[in-house]
Amino acid sequence: MTRPAIIFGSIGMLGSDLVAAWERVRAEEADALPPAVGVADWNVVEITDERAVGEFITRHEPRLVVNCAAYTDVDGCTRDPELAMNVNGRAPGYIAAACAKVGARMVHISTDFVFDGKSDRPYVEDDPVGPISAYGESKLAGERAAQQHLPGACIVRTAWLYGASGKNFVATMLRLGRERDELRVVSDQVGCPTYTVDLAEAILRLILAGAEGVVHVVNSGQCSWCDLARKALELAGISTPVLSITAAEFKSPTERPGYSVLSTARYTALTGRRMRSWTEALPEFIERYMSR
Ligand SMILES: NC(=O)c1ccc[n+]([C@@H]2O[C@H](COP(=O)([O-])OP(=O)(O)OC[C@H]3O[C@@H](n4cnc5c(N)ncnc54)[C@H](OP(=O)(O)O)[C@@H]3O)[C@@H](O)[C@H]2O)c1
Protein backbone atom coordinates (compact mmCIF):
# COMPACT_ATOMS: atom_id res chain seq x y z
CA MET A 1 0.00 0.00 0.00
CA THR A 2 1.30 3.49 -0.89
CA ARG A 3 1.47 5.61 2.23
CA PRO A 4 -0.20 8.97 1.42
CA ALA A 5 0.45 12.52 2.55
CA ILE A 6 -2.12 14.33 4.70
CA ILE A 7 -2.64 18.08 4.29
CA PHE A 8 -4.49 19.70 7.20
CA GLY A 9 -6.17 23.01 6.29
CA SER A 10 -6.38 22.01 2.63
CA ILE A 11 -9.09 24.53 1.68
CA GLY A 12 -7.38 27.45 3.42
CA MET A 13 -5.54 30.14 1.48
CA LEU A 14 -2.18 28.35 1.51
CA GLY A 15 -3.64 24.83 1.69
CA SER A 16 -5.60 25.20 -1.56
CA ASP A 17 -2.54 26.41 -3.49
CA LEU A 18 -0.49 23.62 -1.93
CA VAL A 19 -3.01 20.99 -3.08
CA ALA A 20 -2.98 22.49 -6.60
CA ALA A 21 0.85 22.49 -6.71
CA TRP A 22 0.88 18.93 -5.36
CA GLU A 23 -1.46 17.74 -8.12
CA ARG A 24 0.60 19.53 -10.80
CA VAL A 25 3.81 17.82 -9.68
CA ARG A 26 2.10 14.41 -9.52
CA ALA A 27 0.54 14.89 -12.96
CA GLU A 28 4.04 15.37 -14.37
CA GLU A 29 5.70 12.62 -12.33
CA ALA A 30 3.39 10.43 -10.27
CA ASP A 31 6.18 9.00 -8.10
CA ALA A 32 7.65 12.38 -7.11
CA LEU A 33 5.20 12.82 -4.23
CA PRO A 34 2.77 10.50 -2.43
CA PRO A 35 -0.95 10.97 -3.16
CA ALA A 36 -2.39 13.70 -0.96
CA VAL A 37 -5.37 13.31 1.38
CA GLY A 38 -6.76 16.81 1.93
CA VAL A 39 -8.38 17.56 5.28
CA ALA A 40 -10.59 20.48 4.44
CA ASP A 41 -11.32 21.99 7.82
CA TRP A 42 -12.42 21.28 11.36
CA ASN A 43 -15.60 19.53 10.11
CA VAL A 44 -13.40 16.71 8.85
CA VAL A 45 -10.84 16.62 11.66
CA GLU A 46 -10.93 19.14 14.51
CA ILE A 47 -7.19 19.46 15.07
CA THR A 48 -7.66 20.45 18.72
CA ASP A 49 -9.22 17.01 19.33
CA GLU A 50 -6.15 14.94 20.20
CA ARG A 51 -8.00 11.63 19.81
CA ALA A 52 -9.52 12.53 16.43
CA VAL A 53 -6.10 13.62 15.13
CA GLY A 54 -4.48 10.43 16.41
CA GLU A 55 -7.18 8.17 14.92
CA PHE A 56 -7.11 9.92 11.53
CA ILE A 57 -3.33 9.71 11.24
CA THR A 58 -3.23 6.10 12.46
CA ARG A 59 -5.96 5.12 9.96
CA HIS A 60 -4.22 6.69 6.95
CA GLU A 61 -0.67 5.84 8.06
CA PRO A 62 0.79 8.72 6.06
CA ARG A 63 4.39 9.11 4.99
CA LEU A 64 4.14 12.85 5.50
CA VAL A 65 1.77 15.37 7.11
CA VAL A 66 1.65 19.06 6.22
CA ASN A 67 -0.17 21.27 8.70
CA CYS A 68 -1.58 24.42 7.06
CA ALA A 69 -4.50 24.59 9.52
CA ALA A 70 -4.39 27.41 12.05
CA TYR A 71 -6.43 30.12 13.74
CA THR A 72 -5.12 32.96 11.59
CA ASP A 73 -7.35 35.85 12.71
CA VAL A 74 -4.68 37.84 14.55
CA ASP A 75 -7.12 40.15 16.35
CA GLY A 76 -9.35 37.15 17.10
CA CYS A 77 -6.36 35.53 18.82
CA THR A 78 -5.92 38.71 20.92
CA ARG A 79 -9.56 38.47 22.00
CA ASP A 80 -9.46 34.71 22.65
CA PRO A 81 -5.89 33.67 23.50
CA GLU A 82 -7.05 30.30 24.87
CA LEU A 83 -8.62 29.33 21.55
CA ALA A 84 -5.44 30.55 19.81
CA MET A 85 -3.31 28.40 22.10
CA ASN A 86 -5.52 25.34 21.53
CA VAL A 87 -5.48 25.58 17.72
CA ASN A 88 -2.04 27.08 17.07
CA GLY A 89 -0.12 26.01 20.16
CA ARG A 90 -1.32 22.56 21.26
CA ALA A 91 -2.76 20.94 18.10
CA PRO A 92 0.60 20.87 16.23
CA GLY A 93 1.91 18.76 19.13
CA TYR A 94 -1.00 16.29 18.72
CA ILE A 95 -0.22 16.03 15.00
CA ALA A 96 3.52 15.62 15.62
CA ALA A 97 2.97 12.93 18.29
CA ALA A 98 0.73 10.96 15.92
CA CYS A 99 3.32 11.37 13.14
CA ALA A 100 6.01 10.01 15.45
CA LYS A 101 3.85 6.92 16.16
CA VAL A 102 3.38 6.01 12.48
CA GLY A 103 6.86 7.12 11.38
CA ALA A 104 5.65 10.08 9.28
CA ARG A 105 7.55 13.27 8.50
CA MET A 106 5.86 16.58 9.28
CA VAL A 107 5.92 20.06 7.77
CA HIS A 108 4.33 22.73 9.94
CA ILE A 109 3.67 26.34 8.93
CA SER A 110 4.62 29.16 11.28
CA THR A 111 5.07 32.91 11.16
CA ASP A 112 7.25 36.02 11.45
CA PHE A 113 5.08 36.92 14.48
CA VAL A 114 7.33 34.72 16.65
CA PHE A 115 9.78 37.68 16.55
CA ASP A 116 9.42 41.03 18.33
CA GLY A 117 10.10 43.05 15.17
CA LYS A 118 12.91 45.12 16.69
CA SER A 119 15.74 43.76 14.53
CA ASP A 120 17.67 45.99 12.11
CA ARG A 121 18.57 43.15 9.69
CA PRO A 122 16.61 40.23 8.23
CA TYR A 123 15.81 37.57 10.82
CA VAL A 124 17.60 34.22 10.48
CA GLU A 125 16.15 30.98 11.80
CA ASP A 126 18.08 30.86 15.08
CA ASP A 127 17.60 34.50 16.04
CA PRO A 128 16.02 34.87 19.49
CA VAL A 129 12.22 34.74 19.40
CA GLY A 130 10.03 37.09 21.41
CA PRO A 131 6.39 37.25 20.33
CA ILE A 132 4.46 40.41 21.20
CA SER A 133 0.92 39.13 20.49
CA ALA A 134 -1.29 36.21 21.50
CA TYR A 135 -1.17 34.96 17.90
CA GLY A 136 2.66 35.04 17.93
CA GLU A 137 2.81 33.33 21.32
CA SER A 138 0.44 30.60 20.20
CA LYS A 139 2.37 29.99 16.96
CA LEU A 140 5.67 29.81 18.85
CA ALA A 141 4.11 27.27 21.24
CA GLY A 142 3.04 25.28 18.14
CA GLU A 143 6.59 25.25 16.78
CA ARG A 144 7.89 23.98 20.11
CA ALA A 145 5.16 21.36 20.53
CA ALA A 146 5.83 19.99 17.03
CA GLN A 147 9.59 19.85 17.63
CA GLN A 148 9.18 18.30 21.07
CA HIS A 149 7.26 15.32 19.68
CA LEU A 150 9.06 15.14 16.34
CA PRO A 151 12.55 16.69 16.48
CA GLY A 152 12.95 16.24 12.70
CA ALA A 153 9.82 18.29 11.88
CA CYS A 154 10.29 21.00 9.28
CA ILE A 155 8.90 24.35 10.52
CA VAL A 156 8.31 26.78 7.66
CA ARG A 157 8.06 30.37 8.92
CA THR A 158 6.41 32.69 6.45
CA ALA A 159 4.80 36.16 6.47
CA TRP A 160 2.32 38.61 4.94
CA LEU A 161 0.52 35.97 2.83
CA TYR A 162 -1.88 36.73 0.00
CA GLY A 163 -3.55 34.25 -2.33
CA ALA A 164 -6.64 33.55 -4.39
CA SER A 165 -8.77 31.73 -1.84
CA GLY A 166 -8.76 33.61 1.40
CA LYS A 167 -9.18 36.90 3.19
CA ASN A 168 -5.94 38.81 2.85
CA PHE A 169 -4.54 42.34 2.86
CA VAL A 170 -4.07 42.68 -0.92
CA ALA A 171 -7.60 41.51 -1.74
CA THR A 172 -8.98 43.84 0.95
CA MET A 173 -7.08 46.84 -0.50
CA LEU A 174 -8.41 46.08 -4.00
CA ARG A 175 -11.96 45.97 -2.66
CA LEU A 176 -11.64 49.09 -0.50
CA GLY A 177 -9.83 50.92 -3.30
CA ARG A 178 -13.00 50.58 -5.38
CA GLU A 179 -15.37 51.47 -2.54
CA ARG A 180 -13.64 54.47 -0.90
CA ASP A 181 -12.34 57.89 -1.96
CA GLU A 182 -9.00 57.37 -0.22
CA LEU A 183 -7.23 54.72 1.87
CA ARG A 184 -5.10 55.23 4.98
CA VAL A 185 -2.49 52.51 5.36
CA VAL A 186 0.28 51.85 7.89
CA SER A 187 3.78 52.69 6.68
CA ASP A 188 5.91 52.02 9.78
CA GLN A 189 5.65 48.22 9.63
CA VAL A 190 7.92 46.52 7.11
CA GLY A 191 7.83 42.93 5.90
CA CYS A 192 7.94 40.52 2.98
CA PRO A 193 4.62 40.12 1.11
CA THR A 194 4.43 36.49 -0.01
CA TYR A 195 2.27 34.87 -2.68
CA THR A 196 0.83 31.53 -1.52
CA VAL A 197 1.55 30.00 -4.95
CA ASP A 198 5.29 30.70 -4.45
CA LEU A 199 5.17 29.46 -0.86
CA ALA A 200 3.40 26.25 -1.95
CA GLU A 201 6.09 25.56 -4.55
CA ALA A 202 8.81 26.25 -1.97
CA ILE A 203 7.20 23.83 0.51
CA LEU A 204 7.27 21.10 -2.15
CA ARG A 205 10.95 21.81 -2.80
CA LEU A 206 11.68 21.54 0.93
CA ILE A 207 9.80 18.22 1.08
CA LEU A 208 11.73 16.88 -1.90
CA ALA A 209 15.00 18.05 -0.27
CA GLY A 210 14.07 16.24 2.98
CA ALA A 211 14.46 19.49 4.95
CA GLU A 212 14.30 19.43 8.75
CA GLY A 213 14.27 22.21 11.34
CA VAL A 214 13.15 25.82 10.97
CA VAL A 215 13.26 27.38 7.48
CA HIS A 216 12.19 30.91 6.55
CA VAL A 217 10.26 31.16 3.26
CA VAL A 218 9.03 34.52 1.94
CA ASN A 219 9.19 36.34 -1.36
CA SER A 220 12.37 38.43 -1.47
CA GLY A 221 12.56 42.18 -1.05
CA GLN A 222 10.68 44.20 1.55
CA CYS A 223 8.12 46.97 1.80
CA SER A 224 5.58 48.56 4.14
CA TRP A 225 1.83 47.83 4.13
CA CYS A 226 1.40 51.26 2.53
CA ASP A 227 3.89 50.46 -0.28
CA LEU A 228 2.10 47.15 -0.86
CA ALA A 229 -1.33 48.79 -1.06
CA ARG A 230 -0.07 51.44 -3.51
CA LYS A 231 1.59 48.84 -5.76
CA ALA A 232 -1.49 46.58 -5.73
CA LEU A 233 -3.85 49.43 -6.65
CA GLU A 234 -1.49 50.66 -9.36
CA LEU A 235 -1.29 47.17 -10.90
CA ALA A 236 -5.09 46.86 -10.77
CA GLY A 237 -5.54 50.28 -12.43
CA ILE A 238 -7.31 51.76 -9.39
CA SER A 239 -6.37 55.42 -8.87
CA THR A 240 -7.67 55.86 -5.28
CA PRO A 241 -5.02 57.75 -3.25
CA VAL A 242 -3.28 55.78 -0.48
CA LEU A 243 -2.26 57.98 2.46
CA SER A 244 0.48 56.87 4.83
CA ILE A 245 -0.34 56.56 8.56
CA THR A 246 1.50 55.14 11.57
CA ALA A 247 0.59 51.92 13.36
CA ALA A 248 -0.29 54.06 16.40
CA GLU A 249 -2.80 56.02 14.27
CA PHE A 250 -4.34 52.78 12.93
CA LYS A 251 -5.21 51.74 16.50
CA SER A 252 -5.23 47.96 16.01
CA PRO A 253 -6.19 45.86 19.06
CA THR A 254 -3.03 43.82 18.38
CA GLU A 255 0.57 45.00 18.52
CA ARG A 256 2.40 43.81 15.40
CA PRO A 257 6.14 43.52 14.73
CA GLY A 258 7.57 46.74 13.24
CA TYR A 259 10.24 44.90 11.26
CA SER A 260 9.31 41.48 9.92
CA VAL A 261 11.86 40.81 7.18
CA LEU A 262 12.99 37.15 7.06
CA SER A 263 16.24 35.92 5.52
CA THR A 264 15.72 33.03 3.07
CA ALA A 265 19.43 32.08 2.90
CA ARG A 266 18.77 28.71 4.58
CA TYR A 267 15.97 27.92 2.10
CA THR A 268 18.38 28.63 -0.76
CA ALA A 269 21.12 26.51 0.82
CA LEU A 270 18.69 23.57 1.23
CA THR A 271 17.02 23.70 -2.18
CA GLY A 272 19.44 25.58 -4.44
CA ARG A 273 16.56 27.97 -5.33
CA ARG A 274 16.03 31.66 -4.64
CA MET A 275 12.62 33.07 -3.78
CA ARG A 276 11.57 35.63 -6.40
CA SER A 277 10.83 39.22 -5.42
CA TRP A 278 7.40 40.27 -4.17
CA THR A 279 7.38 42.82 -7.03
CA GLU A 280 7.49 39.92 -9.53
CA ALA A 281 4.91 37.79 -7.71
CA LEU A 282 2.31 40.49 -7.04
CA PRO A 283 1.44 41.24 -10.72
CA GLU A 284 0.72 37.53 -11.27
CA PHE A 285 -1.69 37.48 -8.34
CA ILE A 286 -3.43 40.70 -9.41
CA GLU A 287 -3.94 39.31 -12.93
CA ARG A 288 -5.39 36.07 -11.52
CA TYR A 289 -7.56 38.01 -9.06
CA MET A 290 -8.90 40.44 -11.68
CA SER A 291 -9.75 37.71 -14.20
CA ARG A 292 -11.90 35.59 -11.91
N1 LIG B 1 -2.14 34.64 6.37
C2 LIG B 1 -0.94 35.13 6.65
O3 LIG B 1 -0.63 36.30 6.36
C4 LIG B 1 0.09 34.27 7.34
C5 LIG B 1 1.33 34.83 7.65
C6 LIG B 1 2.30 34.03 8.26
C7 LIG B 1 2.03 32.70 8.55
N8 LIG B 1 0.80 32.19 8.25
C9 LIG B 1 0.56 30.77 8.57
O10 LIG B 1 0.35 30.08 7.35
C11 LIG B 1 -0.56 28.99 7.56
C12 LIG B 1 -1.67 29.06 6.52
O13 LIG B 1 -2.35 30.30 6.67
P14 LIG B 1 -3.59 30.69 5.76
O15 LIG B 1 -3.58 32.17 5.68
O16 LIG B 1 -3.63 29.83 4.53
O17 LIG B 1 -4.77 30.26 6.75
P18 LIG B 1 -6.35 30.14 6.47
O19 LIG B 1 -6.71 30.57 5.09
O20 LIG B 1 -7.02 30.78 7.64
O21 LIG B 1 -6.54 28.56 6.52
C22 LIG B 1 -6.46 27.86 7.73
C23 LIG B 1 -7.37 26.65 7.62
O24 LIG B 1 -7.33 25.98 8.89
C25 LIG B 1 -8.67 25.61 9.22
N26 LIG B 1 -8.81 25.48 10.66
C27 LIG B 1 -8.88 26.48 11.59
N28 LIG B 1 -9.06 25.97 12.82
C29 LIG B 1 -9.11 24.62 12.67
C30 LIG B 1 -9.30 23.54 13.57
N31 LIG B 1 -9.46 23.74 14.88
N32 LIG B 1 -9.31 22.27 13.07
C33 LIG B 1 -9.17 22.06 11.75
N34 LIG B 1 -8.98 23.04 10.84
C35 LIG B 1 -8.95 24.31 11.30
C36 LIG B 1 -9.50 26.76 8.69
O37 LIG B 1 -10.85 26.38 8.59
P38 LIG B 1 -11.99 27.53 8.75
O39 LIG B 1 -11.68 28.55 7.70
O40 LIG B 1 -13.26 26.78 8.56
O41 LIG B 1 -11.81 28.08 10.14
C42 LIG B 1 -8.84 27.01 7.34
O43 LIG B 1 -9.34 26.16 6.34
C44 LIG B 1 -1.01 29.10 9.02
O45 LIG B 1 -0.22 28.26 9.81
C46 LIG B 1 -0.71 30.55 9.39
O47 LIG B 1 -0.48 30.70 10.77
C48 LIG B 1 -0.17 32.94 7.65
Burial class (CB within 10 angstroms; exposed 0-12, middle 13-18, buried 19+) of 26: middle
Q: What is the mean pLDDT of residues 32-57?
A: 90
Q: What is the mean pLDDT of residues 148-160?
A: 98
**What is the predicted pLDDT for the residue at 39?**
83
Instruction: Work out which ligand 1 atom sits closest to the CA atom of 44.
Output: 33
Q: What is the mean pLDDT of residues 11-22?
A: 96
The Cα 48–Cα 52 span in angstroms is 8
**What is the predicted pLDDT for the residue at 40?**
74
Q: What is the mean pLDDT of residues 20-38?
A: 93
Amino acid present at 111: T
Q: What is the mean pLDDT of residues 25-36?
A: 93
The Cα 172–Cα 209 span in angstroms is 35
Burial class (CB within 10 angstroms; exposed 0-12, middle 13-18, buried 19+) of 178: exposed
Question: What is the share, in percent, of the chain residues with pLDDT greater than 90?
Answer: 94
Cα 189 to middle of ligand 1, angstroms: 22
**What is the predicted pLDDT for the residue at 130?**
98
pLDDT in tens, 201-237: 999 999 999 999 999 999 999 999 999 999 999 999 9
265 or 1, greater pLDDT: 265
**What is the predicted pLDDT for the residue at 43?**
78
**What is the predicted pLDDT for the residue at 114?**
98
Cα 259 to middle of ligand 1, angstroms: 23
Q: Where are the domains of the chain?
A: 5-168+193-220+261-276
pLDDT in tens, 270-284: 999 999 999 999 999
Long-range CB contact pairs, 169-176, < 8 A, 24+:
169/193, 169/225, 169/228, 169/229, 170/228, 170/232, 170/282, 170/285, 170/286, 170/289, 171/289, 173/228, 173/229, 173/232, 173/233, 174/232, 174/233, 174/236, 174/238, 174/286, 174/289
Which residues line ligand 1 at a C-beta cut-off of 6 Å? 9, 11-15, 41-42, 46-48, 68-72, 87, 109, 111, 139, 158-161, 166
The Cα 125–Cα 237 span in angstroms is 38
pLDDT in tens, 87-122: 999 999 999 999 999 999 999 999 999 999 999 999
Residue whose CA is closest, atom 38 of ligand 1? 41
Give the model's confidence band at 238: pLDDT under 50 very low, under 70 low, under 90 confident, else very high. very high
The per-residue pLDDT of the chain, averaged, comes to 96
pTM for this structure? Answer: 0.98
**What is the predicted pLDDT for the residue at 143?**
98
**What is the predicted pLDDT for the residue at 251?**
85
Residue whose CA is closest, atom 15 of ligand 1? 13
**What is the predicted pLDDT for the residue at 129?**
98
Angle (CA) 126 130 133, round 5°: 135
Question: What is the share, in percent, of the chain residues with pLDDT greater than 70?
Answer: 100
CATH architecture classification, 5-168+193-220+261-276: 3-Layer(aba) Sandwich (3.40)
Give the model's confidence band at 73: pLDDT under 50 very low, under 70 low, under 90 confident, else very high. very high
Residue 122: φ, ψ to 5°:
-55, 135
Which range is least confidently modeled, 43-52, 145-154, 213-222? 43-52
37 or 182, greater pLDDT: 182
**What is the predicted pLDDT for the residue at 21?**
97
Catalytic residue among 135, 195, 259, 267: 135
Per-residue pLDDT for 38 more than 90?
no
Size (the chain), residues: 292
Q: Is 135 a catalytic residue?
A: yes
